[in-house]
């Protein structure tokens, strides 16, 4: 195994005192997260590893997490983000990245180490590829659902994974430019 480069990402995820009960601010969900993207320069056939760390604050309740590698993209106006199974986009690195563990329960004050292994195919074409590592809070089946009509919130953190296969040629095709007053919008 060639461990050529390890990019370490880390974030701390701290759930609030209670996760699902509706209403009061005391029940709010709180977490600390790192949003640093994971950037990897690689060559065809290489296998690279990186770690992602997740830790809860002391006193946080046990929280179950699901780890997933997905594709992602944004709408043209940037107002919407889409997450889909790996392989949904042509420049996906989702099938190259595996995470271990895929699920875990973390107690307050404990940390979860997620190991990411990036296996670059031999026949990959040069260029940039991307996907996302998502860590989703999962509902606790033992929690009692609140009474009435309501929405309960869970949290999710996603970090972009960018894989660059040399030689990378950076560029963009500008399809349209709209000028509105002092603001110009380029569509590429």
Partner 1 sequence: MQRQILSFFKAPALAAGAIVLLACSASAQTTVTLPDTSQTTVLTAVVNEQARVTFPSGVTFTVSDITGSTIASPAAVTISNIVLATATKQLKVSVQADAAAFTAPGGSTTWSAGDVTWSAATWTSASGSAGTLSNSAYNAVATCAADAASCSTTGLVFTLGAKPTVQRSGNHQLTVRWKVEAIGS
Q: Note the residues at the interface with partner 1 (CB under 8 A).
A: 9-11, 16, 18-23, 25, 27-37, 74-75, 78-83, 136, 139, 145-158
d(CA 145, CA 26): 17
32 contacts 12 by C-beta, under 8 angstroms: yes
C-beta of 149 vs 175, nearer to partner 1: 149
Q: Shortest gap between Cβ of 121 and partner 1 (angstroms)?
A: 28
What is the layout of strands, in order, in the sheet containing 127-138? 103-106, 63-74, 127-138
Q: Shortest gap between Cβ of 82 and partner 1 (angstroms)?
A: 5
For residue 5, give both structure tokens: 């480069």
Q: Shortest gap between Cβ of 112 and partner 1 (angstroms)?
A: 16
Q: Shortest gap between Cβ of 91 and partner 1 (angstroms)?
A: 17
C-beta of 124 vs 136, nearer to partner 1: 136
- In this structure, what are the phi and psi dihedrals at residue 131, rounded to the nearest 5 degrees? -160, -170
End-to-end CA distance of the chain, in Å? 39
C-beta of 1 vs 151, nearer to partner 1: 151
């Amino acid at each position: 195994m060639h461990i050529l480069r390890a990019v370490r990402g880390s974030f701390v995820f701290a759930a609030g005192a209670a996760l699902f009960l509706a209403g009061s601010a005391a029940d709010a969900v709180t977490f600390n997260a790192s949003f640093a993207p994971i950037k990897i320069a690689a060559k065809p056939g290489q296998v690279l590893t990186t770690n992602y760390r997740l830790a809860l604050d002391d006193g946080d309740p046990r929280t179950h997490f699901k780890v997933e590698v997905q594709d992602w993209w944004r709408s043209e106006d940037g107002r919407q983000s889409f997450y889909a199974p790996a392989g949904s986009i042509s420049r996906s690195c989702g099938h190259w990245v595996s995470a271990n563990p895929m699920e875990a329960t973390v107690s307050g004050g404990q940390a979860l180490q997620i190991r990411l292994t990036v296996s670059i195919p031999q026949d990959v074409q040069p260029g940039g590829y991307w996907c996302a590592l998502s860590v989703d809070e999962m509902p606790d089946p033992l929690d009692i659902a609140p009474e009435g009509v309501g929405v309960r919130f869970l949290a999710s953190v996603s970090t972009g994974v960018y894989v660059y296969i040399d030689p990378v040629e950076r560029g963009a095709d500008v399809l349209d430019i709209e000028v509105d007053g002092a603001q110009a919008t380029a569509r590429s």
